[in-house]
Amino acid sequence: MGLPKGRTNNPNGRTVGSKNKVSIRMKEKLEQFCNQNWDIIVQDFKSVEAKERLYFFEKILSFIISKPSPERQIIEPINKKLPAWMELDGKGVTDV
What's the mean pLDDT in 38-66?
Answer: 86
pLDDT band at 71 (very low <50, low <70, confident <90, very high): low
Please list the residues that pair with 91 across neighbouring strands: 88
Task: List the domain boundaries for the chain.
Answer: 19-64
Position 95 scores a pLDDT of 47
> Which of 23-27, 29-33, 72-76 shows the highest mean pLDDT?
29-33
Give the separation between CA 50 and CA 96, rounded to whole angstroms.
7
Rounded-to-integer distance, Cα 68 and Cα 53, Å: 23
CA 94 – CA 60 distance, rounded (Å): 21
More confident: 2 or 94: 2
50 closest CA partner among 7, 94, 9, 88 = 88
The pTM of the full predicted model, rounded to 2 decimals, is: 0.44
Where residue 36 falls among pLDDT bands split at 50, 70, 90? very high
